[in-house]
């Protein structure tokens, strides 16, 4: 009897030591000093190829600098859905989402400090993109600009702005054109959008799903998509499609941030911050450009000006008054999108 | 004679329709999987199915499947015993509640557990303090897989137990057999085949589960991706060949289970006919 009690006691003691032992491998700032560390990067759909390349670059670099082995685990999906999962308890050390509004929604759930976007240069955007049009080879429907998307003989593929970050950029790029065309008359611009969305044949939940609908399933005459996604499609089957730059587009800022409460509990703040900061380095900027993201470093961008025409007129989200205002006006329940798409 | 001829035509028309339907709905898609997975050659196929992330996904799927089979067996036996051998108030309600996991949409299952264990749930602060991750981690995947397969064994053995009644067990008890002896010598032999069949059903369901797991996984590559989720990710990455190759692993696992089922059916039939001969 006594012996059994002793075993139980020693077991409890042992597990207590193990549990607290985990907490002991920390330096003065609470960073883990373990030999191996994992970093979870929750991102949106089209960044798969970018982070595959960047992660192996960073893992090598970090090993060389600190001796610590870091393994970056990726999760990809629709930006809004990913933000919701992080807010619901997905333990992401860093979030690299498609738009600041989604990072803001994570911040509002109390996981990220509210000043997150000012912690890194360029609004915390080491890379950005823009919105372009992808048409079938030879451009059979003669699509040149946003105007052509409202023609009754054109069928459009774009994801649902309620669930997809990319879709919101698509919507806003077209809206920017409409405002310009009608001299900032909103009622005309909304009518333009109504016509455009009447032509949408497939409204997928995410950007990647839309690309698949357009390419693999042959839906629609034109795909509204990220510039990087368009280039990736051209890289895979360049002979089947053509990229069209519209006269006006939007600077699609895709900010990154550490998730404060998660890096605190994982003890990964140092490595997570380095992971994001190194994205601004020249070599990483080259990786961004190679994966068709516009690098924030203007020198690197210029080197790739053949790929990224710099004369494209781009509005920014600030021209619309920021994400909070835009979300409420256009994408909230009963907002303009709900009114035009029934 | 006339009548017989008509029968023959009808027979063949029905067979051809069924075979045609089977070809379109089963053989052709399965053929596509095989053709698709070898589209870039045998070497590429081997490389795809031995990829680090594929193996990790396979391991997670197998772990979840084993956990499901164990849970559904133990739970199924106990619950079936309880509802067929005892009478108590609310028995009928319990019997229908047990069916909920298979009748409810898997996505809803996932959402239930998301709300229960997620940050909005009331259990989350407790789990967080102890440092246990359930949601968007391996335990969550295993829990939802167990949930959707839970009633599989129960559903198979309850009808058999009900049809048999309790006379033999009562007789054995009166002759002084212990509970364990009654179970191993009388009850279990009669439910052995439905029991094993239930296990196979739950294994195949657990391996293919997508909806519930998708909600709760977080899609962490190499960590919480099961094989079906991995196939979807590869497909979304435009790696169609690799996606088909990984899908072929799932097909092979299902075929293995199917063969196992056929063998078991054959063995059980032979046993039964031998028993019938012995009694006759």
Do residues B47 and B173 both lie within one domain? yes
> What's the mean pLDDT in B118-136?
87
Looking at the fold, whether B109 and B156 belong to one and the same domain comes out as yes
Which residues of chain B have a CB within 8 Å of the CB of A232? Answer: 238
> B237 and A48: CB-CB below 8 Å?
yes
Q: In chain B, what residues touch A36 (CB-CB under 8 Å)?
A: none
* Residue of A21, A89, A209, A214 for testing the chain B interface, max B β-carbons within 10 Å: A89
Whether B52 and B135 share a structural domain:
yes
Nearest Cα neighbor of B100 from B149, B166, B165, B157 is B149
Q: Which residues of B touch A87 (CB under 8 A)?
A: 119
Close Cβ partners of A97 (under 8 Å, ≥ 6 residues apart): A42, A43, A44, A79, A82, A83, A103, A165, A254, A255
Nearest to A88 among B120, B220, B223 (CB): B120
Q: Does B36 touch chain A (CB under 8 A)?
A: no
User: pLDDT digit string (tens) for B158-173?
Assistant: 999 998 888 888 899 8
- Give the count of domains, chain B: 2
Q: Is B237 on the interface with A (CB under 8 A)?
A: yes
Looking at the fold, whether B238 and B130 belong to one and the same domain comes out as yes
Q: Residue A114: what pLDDT? A: 93
Give me the residue from A75, A85, A109 closest to B221, CB to CB: A75
Between A and B, how many residue pairs show a Cβ–Cβ distance under 8 A? 49
Are residues B48 and B28 located together in one domain of the fold? Answer: no
Chain B residues within an 8 Å CB radius of A85: 136, 218
Classify residue B276 by burial, with Cβ atoms within 10 Å: 0-12, 13-18, 19+: exposed
Residue B218 touches partner A, C-beta closer than 8 Å: yes
In terms of domains, do B101 and B64 share one? Answer: yes
| Predicted complex ipTM | 0.79
Q: Shortest Cα distance from B204 to chain A (angstroms)?
A: 26
Query: How far does the CA of residue B143 sit from the closest CA of chain A (Å)?
Result: 16
For residue A51, which of A278, A246, A217, A245 has the smallest C-alpha distance? A278
Q: Who among B135, B220, B238 is closest to A73 (CB)?
A: B220
Nearest C-alpha in B relative to A77: B219
CA distance A216 to chain B (A): 9
For A202-258, give the DSSP string: E--SSHHHHHHHHHTS---SEEEEEHHHHHHHHHHHTTTEEEE--SEEEEEE--EEE
- Average pLDDT of the residues of chain B: 89
Which residue ranges form the domains of chain A, and what is each CATH number? 2-125+254-280 (3.40.190.10), 129-252+312-340 (3.40.190.10)
Per-residue pLDDT of chain A (342 residues; tens, 9 = 90+): 556 666 665 655 555 544 444 445 777 777 888 889 999 999 998 898 899 999 999 999 999 999 999 999 999 988 888 999 999 999 999 999 999 999 999 999 999 999 999 999 999 999 999 999 999 999 999 999 999 999 999 999 999 998 888 999 999 999 999 999 999 999 999 999 999 999 999 998 888 889 989 998 899 999 999 999 999 999 988 889 999 999 999 999 999 999 999 999 899 999 999 999 999 999 999 999 999 999 999 999 999 999 999 889 999 999 999 999 999 999 999 999 999 987
Q: Does B255 touch chain A (CB under 8 A)?
A: no
The minimal CB distance from A91 to the residues B133, B221, B237 is found for B133
Q: Does B122 touch chain A (CB under 8 A)?
A: no
Measure B106 CA to nearest chain A CA, in Å. Answer: 18
Both structure tokens of A202? 């497939």
CA dihedral (A261, A263, A264, A268) in degrees, to 10, reads 180
CA A5/CA B175 separation, integer angstroms: 42
| C-alpha to C-alpha distance for A41 and A60, rounded to whole angstroms | 17
Closest-CA residue of B relative to A111 is B119
Nearest to A40 among B118, B220, B236 (CB): B220
Contact A236 B119 (CB under 8 A): no
Average pLDDT value for chain A: 90
The pLDDT of residue A71: 95
What is the distance in angstroms between the Cα of B123 and the nearest Cα belonging to chain A? 12
> Is residue B186 within 8 Å of residue B172, measured between CB atoms?
yes
From B127, which residue of chain A is nearest by alpha-carbon distance? A89
Scanning A60-99 for CB atoms below 8 A from B yields 73-77, 85, 87-91
The answer, as to whether pTM is greater than 0.90, is: no
Domain of residue B96, residue span: 41-279
Residues B22 and B54 in one domain: no
Choose among A22, A87, A208: nearest Cβ to B236: A208
**Measuring CA to CA, which residue among A245, A241, A223 is closest to residue A233?**
A241
CA distance B266 to A119: 68
Residue A3: per-residue pLDDT = 63
Residues B138 and B190 in one domain: yes
Is residue B52 domain-shared with residue B31, that is, in the same domain?
no
Q: At what angle do helices B138-149 and B52-85 cross, to 10 degrees?
A: 40
Q: What is the pLDDT of residue B77?
A: 93
Q: CB atoms < 10 A from the CB of A2, how many?
A: 6
Distance CA B139, CA A247 (A): 51
Q: Do B90 and B123 lie in a common domain?
A: yes
Does the distance separating the beta carbons of B220 and A208 come in below 8 Å? no
E strands, chain A, in order = 36-44, 69-77, 94-96, 127-136, 156-157, 200-202, 222-226, 241-244, 248-253, 256-258, 294-295, 313-315
A68 burial via Cβ count (<10 Å: 0-12, 13-18, 19+): middle
Q: Is A101's Cβ below 8 Å from some Cβ in B?
A: no
Q: How many other CB atoms sit within 10 Å of the CB of residue B2?
A: 6
pLDDT given for residue A39 in this prediction: 95
CB–CB of A180/A235 below 8 Å? Answer: no
A43: which residues sit within 8 A by CB, 6+ positions away?
Answer: A51, A74, A75, A76, A82, A95, A96, A97
Residue of A24, A70, A88, A233 to mutate for B, most B C-beta atoms under 10 A = A88
Whether residues B27 and B48 share a domain: the answer is: no
Q: What is the mean pLDDT of residues B45-59?
A: 93
Query: Residue A271 in contact with residue A70, Cβ under 8 Å?
Result: yes
The CATH number assigned to the domain holding B132 equals 1.10.3720.10
Nearest chain B residue to A207 by CA distance is B236
Chain A partners of B137 at a C-beta cutoff of 8 Å?
91
Task: Quote the DSSP letter at residue B124.
Answer: H
Tell me what pLDDT residue B75 has: 94
Question: Cα–Cα distance between B39 and B46 in angstroms, integer?
Answer: 12
Question: What's the pLDDT tens digit per position in B242-258?
Answer: 999 999 999 999 999 99
B220 touches chain A (CB under 8 A): yes
Contact between B110 and B216 (Cβ < 8 Å) = yes
Please state, in angstroms and as integers, the Cα–Cα distance from residue A24 to each residue in A17, A159, A209, A270, A272, following that order: 10, 47, 45, 17, 20
Closest-CA residue of A relative to B240 is A216
| In a shared domain, residues B187 and B110 | yes
Question: What is the reported pLDDT for A339?
Answer: 92
What's phi and psi for A108, nearest 5 deg?
A: -65, -25
Residues of chain A in contact with residue B220, where contact means CB-CB under 8 angstroms, are 40, 73-75, 90
Residues 58-77 of B with CB under 8 A from A: none
DSSP assignment of A125-137 equals -SEEEEEEEEEET
Separation in Å, CA B52 to CA A99, A126, A238, B49: 31, 29, 30, 9
Listed by number, the residues of chain A in 197-226 with a beta carbon closer than 8 Å to a beta carbon of chain B are 208-209, 212
- In chain A, which residues have their Cβ closer than 8 Å to the Cβ of B233? 76
Q: Could you say which of B218, B236, B238 has the minimum Cβ distance to residue A90?
A: B218
Structural tokens at position A299: 């020198």
- The number of helices, as runs of H, and strands, as runs of E, in chain B is 16, 0
């Amino acid at each position: 009897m006594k012996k059994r009690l002793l075993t139980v006691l020693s077991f409890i003691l042992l597990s207590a030591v193990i549990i607290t032992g985990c907490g002991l491998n920390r330096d003065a700032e609470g960073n883990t000093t373990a030999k191996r560390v994992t970093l979870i990067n929750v991102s949106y759909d089209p960044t798969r190829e970018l982070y595959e390349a960047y992660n192996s670059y960073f893992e090598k670099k970090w090993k060389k600098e600190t001796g610590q082995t870091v393994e970056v685990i990726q999760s990809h999906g629709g930006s809004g859905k990913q933000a919701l999962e992080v807010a619901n308890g997905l333990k992401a050390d860093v979030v690299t989402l498609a738009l600041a509004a989604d990072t803001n929604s994570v911040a509002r759930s109390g996981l990220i400090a509210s000043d997150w976007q000012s912690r890194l240069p360029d609004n915390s955007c080491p890379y950005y993109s823009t919105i372009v049009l992808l048409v079938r080879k030879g451009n059979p429907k003669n699509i040149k600009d946003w105007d052509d998307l409202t023609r009754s003989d054109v069928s459009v593929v774009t994801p649902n702005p309620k669930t997809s970050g990319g879709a919101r950029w698509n919507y806003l790029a077209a809206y920017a054109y409409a405002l310009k065309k009608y001299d900032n008359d909103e009622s005309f611009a909304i009518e333009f959008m109504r016509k455009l969305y009447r032509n949408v044949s497939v409204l997928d939940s995410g950007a990647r799903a839309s690309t698949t609908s357009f390419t693999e399933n042959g839906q629609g005459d034109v795909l509204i998509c990220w510039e990087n996604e368009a280039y990736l499609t051209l890289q895979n089957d360049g002979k089947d499609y053509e990229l069209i730059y519209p006269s006006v587009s939007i600077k699609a800022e895709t900010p990154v941030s550490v998730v404060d409460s998660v890096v605190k509990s994982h003890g990964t703040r140092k490595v997570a911050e380095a992971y994001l900061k190194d994205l601004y380095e020249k070599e990483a900027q080259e990786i961004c450009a190679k994966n068709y993201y516009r690098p924030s470093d203007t020198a690197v961008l210029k080197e790739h000006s053949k790929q990224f025409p710099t004369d494209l007129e781009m509005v920014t989200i600030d021209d619309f008054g920021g994400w909070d205002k835009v979300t409420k006006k256009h994408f909230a329940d009963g907002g303009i999108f709900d009114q035009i798409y029934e | 004679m006339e009548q017989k001829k008509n029968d023959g035509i009808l027979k063949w028309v029905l067979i051809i329709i069924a075979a045609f339907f089977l070809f379109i709905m089963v053989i052709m898609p399965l053929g596509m999987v095989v053709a698709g997975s070898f589209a870039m050659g045998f070497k590429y196929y081997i490389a795809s199915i031995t990829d680090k992330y594929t193996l990790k996904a396979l391991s997670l799927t197998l772990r979840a499947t084993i956990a499901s089979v164990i849970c559904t067996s133990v739970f199924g036996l106990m619950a079936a015993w309880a509802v067929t051998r005892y009478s108590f108030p609310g028995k009928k309600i319990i019997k229908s509640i047990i069916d909920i996991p298979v009748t409810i949409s898997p996505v809803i299952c996932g959402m239930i557990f998301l709300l229960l264990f997620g940050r909005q749930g009331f259990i989350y602060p407790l789990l967080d303090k102890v440092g246990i991750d359930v949601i968007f981690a391996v335990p969550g995947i295993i829990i939802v897989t167990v949930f959707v397969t839970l009633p599989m064994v129960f559903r198979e053995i309850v009808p058999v137990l009900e049809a048999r009644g309790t006379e033999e067990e009562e007789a054995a008890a009166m002759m002084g057999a212990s509970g364990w002896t009654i179970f191993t010598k009388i009850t279990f032999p009669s439910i052995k085949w439905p029991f094993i069949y239930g296990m196979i059903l739950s294994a195949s369901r657990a391996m293919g589960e997508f909806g519930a797991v998708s909600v709760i996984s977080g899609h962490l590559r190499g960590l919480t991706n099961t094989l079906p989720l991995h196939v979807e990710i590869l497909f979304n990455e435009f790696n169609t060949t690799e996606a088909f190759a990984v899908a072929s692993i799932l097909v092979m696992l299902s075929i293995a289970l199917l063969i196992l089922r056929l063998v078991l059916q054959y063995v059980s039939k032979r046993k039964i006919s031998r028993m019938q001969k012995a009694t006759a």
